A and B are shown apart, each in its own frame.
Chain A
Amino acid sequence: MKDIVYFDNAASTKPTAEVMGAFNKACNDCYGNPSSAHSAGVKAEAIVNESKNVIASLIDASCDEIVFTSGGTESNNMAIFGIAERYKRSGNHIITTKTEHPSVSAPFKSLEQKGFKVTYLDVCDRGYVNEESLYAAVCDDTILVSIHHVNSEAGTIQKIDKLSESVKSKNRETIFHCDGVQAFGKIPINLKNVDLYSMSGHKIHCVKGIGCLYVKKGIKISPLLYGGSHQGGLRGGTENSMGSAAFGVAAKTAYDRMNESHQKVLEVKNRILEIADGDRILINGDKNNSSPYILSMSFLGKKGEVLLHYLDDKGLYVSTGSACNERKKSDSGLAHFGYSKDRVSSVIRFSFSRFNTPEEADYCISVLKEALEIIV
């Protein structure tokens, strides 16, 4: 067994050699400012545009529908604040769910304080948003709906096609944003009725500090960052040419290997979830149809945090929920699945990448069994 088993890939992943190669090459060859007039600038700009093209083609978008950002959090903030600012005269109502990542829920809370009316939709015990409740919530005043694609804590895959279609059928002016950070590069994406889609690099073996937002042609958003005419005026700031170069490669690889990776992580996941006994060890979310990359289990009677530290000591890295939540004592999103306090406080999230192996899963099971014996 190697020293480290990394099962926290929904928090962040290890950049591949290929990605680091692209990053390094961009550092060496294209360090100019993409906005500079000289040929070093032109070269750097070309790299940025090339990556935009790659990502756009992967999701059937066009190059000018992609805005590079610093990552998922910025993409989500940009989408939500950008729409609210731009369309505030058209309506005062916005909709999201109770199980969003903090980079979505916090902007909504902030807008609520600024006077927006917010509907927070419930989810069922498997984490799904109810299509009828969503349809009922949309009104003439609704300018924005934001729903995640894959839930970061339980792996629930929302039926984005149906949900977005439902919203548009009630009010075709309502803009639909989707936080796709845990989905991009892992499951197919259909942007037919989706206006804005957030993506992140470091969840798919890219370096940290790069992500993007898909903004459908015709949708206008106000920028978060002012400071130049970069990226069509949507985001001031020197473009991250090295990050984009790396992101392009990471995204392309993720798409090329999507099916193969899917099989690999599913095998790892299936091995681990076998220890669930339906009594003291429970699987959270949708047992059958959740993302193969995320497995959330509760070990009733134990504290998730204590289990985590035990596993950590054995070189096994997991998480108790979404990493961004962990430093706060706030309620985990899983409380909104209607789970008991015990079930919520005993959660461990295992999240996988194509580099994980079934042997690692076996090691994980043996350490888990040992931990459950020893820990009070």
Chain B
Amino acid sequence: MNNSNELPYTKVVLVKYGEIALRGNNRSAFENRLCGAINKSLGGTSYSVTKEQGRILIQKKEIDDELDYDYVVKRVKLVMGIVGICPAIKTENQDIEHLRELALLYIKQIAPKGEFSFKVESKRSDKRYPIKSNEVSALIGEHIFESMENASVRMKNPDILLKLELRTDAYMYIDTIKGVGGLPYGSTGRGMLLLSGGIDSPVAGFMAAKRGVLINCAYFHSPPYTSERAFIKVQDLAKRLSDFTGGLTFYKVNFTDVQLFLYENVLHKRLTILLKRAMLIISERLAKREYCDCLITGDSLGQVASQTLAAIRAQSSAATLPIIRPLAGMDKIEIINLAEQIETYEISIRPYEDCCTIFVDKHPETQPKQDIIESIERQLWDKGLSDLIDAAVVGAERILV
């Protein structure tokens, strides 16, 4: 139907974004960043993404190239800061007679039988347009009502709400698909995500990013107990996250020596807690290097032994930065659903473990005491733990994804 001779229009997508964070000088920078993120999410070079007076307009660069609504919606849906996505049609000819015909054609395509109630809403951002918005709505509504026998007008909860926006060009649309929402990426501050190859931590990273946190990642690698493929898997997860964030910094920490030291020096039922503390200590040092204000973990309350409140308390004092746990209140199934939506799930279920089962005790302590754990750590600190942690931080490899 693209560009039919009588009623020329083009398929486009209008993107609405939250206005909350758009203050003063930030606005333009944010809009540019959003355009960039949308462009990246679409992939390829066939789209044009431009600012259009409080909206972002996505269209095909080539006029004869028809835009695929489903594809664009699917890709753009996960870009942070977008509130709504509207598959729309665009026309340059704003003559009222033309708009009336076009609206009728558009409605007929969607509901050919005409058994529906409807309402037309118009908006002029160009106030020089000769007819007031209400009158435009009325003129169009009248034409549809008169041309389609079974159509009725209803002001409250109509079956079809046809929206018309008169800007440089005119746009019509019916559906608004909900976006991820959230805040512009990076507007809240910076955080260091403890990223593993599991299902949870990438989702936690996504949730934090959605609330405007700029994400850095720390990954703990322990060769020969974990394989190179486990690292590649985590790197792929980071790459996937970077699709939403437009690039991120990734630290590969060699954790083997710390892990072995603790394995040899603590009761195995306490190993997990002390390992997690060591990871937090290392992550915090890397976080400070990247000017981060928080650590982010994929902990979900009570999911495993190390996620009881007692265990979380016994770990948390290892860090002085606040630890954000975006998944705290989510069930595993909710986490999996979100992981599927953001397409990290397929990567996470690859069979390469990032912690060797040797270091996972069958019966870890579920009610560890913070003071006891801390005193064990203090005793080990000068016996070598401190040096090993220093070495892990110094040796961490910084990778840009």
Contacts and interface: CB of A to CB of B under 8 A. Distances in A.
A376 B358 contact: yes
B223 interface: yes
A303 B356 contact: yes
Contacts of A329: 351
Interface in A288-337: 303, 305-310, 312-313, 327-329
B225 interface: yes
A303 B351 contact: no
Contacts of A375: 224
B348 to A, nearest CB: 15
Interface in B196-248: 223-228
A308 B224 CA distance: 8
Interface in B102-147: none
B260 A376 contact: yes
A328 B351 contact: yes
B263 interface: yes
B358 A303 contact: yes
Given A327-B351, A328-B351, A313 B260 contact: no
Contacts of A306: 224-225, 356, 358
Interface in B323-366: 351, 356-358
B358 A313 contact: no
A309 B224 contact: yes
A303 B228 CA distance: 16
B351 A313 contact: no
A309 B263 contact: no
Nearest to B223: A309
Interface in A249-276: none
A305 B223 CA distance: 11
A257 to B, nearest CB: 35
A309 B358 CA distance: 15
Residue from A308, A309, A310, A329 whose CB has the most chain B CB atoms within 10 Å: A309
B263 A376 contact: yes
A253 B373 CA distance: 65
Contact of A313 (B224, B263, B264): B224
A308 B229 CA distance: 13
Nearest to A326: B351
B353 to A, nearest CB: 9
Contacts of B356: 303, 305-306
A215 to B, nearest CB: 36
A312 B264 CA distance: 24
Contacts of A376: 260, 263-264, 358
A327 B227 CA distance: 12
A327 B229 CA distance: 10
Contact of A309 (B227, B264, B351, B357): B227
B330 to A, nearest CB: 26
A376 B228 CA distance: 19
Given A327-B351, A329-B351, A376-B263, A310 B224 contact: yes
A238 B289 CA distance: 59
Contacts of B225: 303, 306, 309
A327 B230 CA distance: 12
B390 to A, nearest CB: 22
Contacts of A305: 227, 356
Interface in A149-186: none
B264 to A, nearest CB: 8
Nearest to A328: B351
Contacts of A310: 224
A312 B225 CA distance: 12
Interface in A358-376: 375-376
B329 to A, nearest CB: 31
A328 to B, nearest CB: 7
Nearest to B230: A309
Query: Which among A310, A313, A376 has the highest number of chain B CB atoms within 10 Å?
Result: A376
Q: Which residue, of B224, B263, B358, has the highest number of chain A Cβ atoms within 10 A?
A: B224
A309 B263 CA distance: 19
Nearest to A302: B358
A312 B229 CA distance: 13
Interface in B248-264: 260, 263-264
A370 to B, nearest CB: 12
A281 B264 CA distance: 23
A312 B358 CA distance: 19
A319 to B, nearest CB: 13
B316 to A, nearest CB: 28
A102 B271 CA distance: 38
B254 to A, nearest CB: 12
Given A306-B356, A306-B358, A376-B358, A313 B227 contact: no
Contacts of A308: 224
A250 to B, nearest CB: 30
Contacts of A309: 223-228
Interface string B257-283: 000100110000000000000000000
A344 to B, nearest CB: 14
Contacts of B223: 309, 313
Contacts of A313: 223-224
B394 to A, nearest CB: 21
Contacts of B227: 305, 309
Contacts of A328: 351
Contacts of A327: 351
Nearest to B352: A327
B142 to A, nearest CB: 61
A206 B354 CA distance: 35
A190 B160 CA distance: 77
A312 B223 CA distance: 10
A305 B228 CA distance: 11
A99 to B, nearest CB: 22
A329 B349 CA distance: 12
A374 to B, nearest CB: 9
A313 B228 CA distance: 10
A311 to B, nearest CB: 8
Contacts of A307: 224
B268 to A, nearest CB: 11
B26 to A, nearest CB: 47
Contacts of B264: 376
Interface string A348-363: 0000000000000000
A330 to B, nearest CB: 10
Interface string B371-384: 00000000000000
Interface of B: 223-228, 260, 263-264, 351, 356-358
Given A303-B357, A306-B358, A310-B224, 16 more contacts: A303-B225, A303-B356, A305-B227, A306-B225, A306-B356, A307-B224, A308-B224, A309-B223, A309-B224, A309-B225, A309-B228, A312-B224, A312-B228, A313-B223, A376-B260, A376-B358
17 contacts: A303-B225, A303-B357, A305-B356, A306-B224, A306-B225, A306-B358, A307-B224, A308-B224, A309-B224, A309-B226, A309-B227, A310-B224, A312-B224, A312-B228, A327-B351, A375-B224, A376-B264
State the 3 A-B residue pairs at the shortest beta-carbon distance, nearest first.
A309-B224, A310-B224, A306-B225
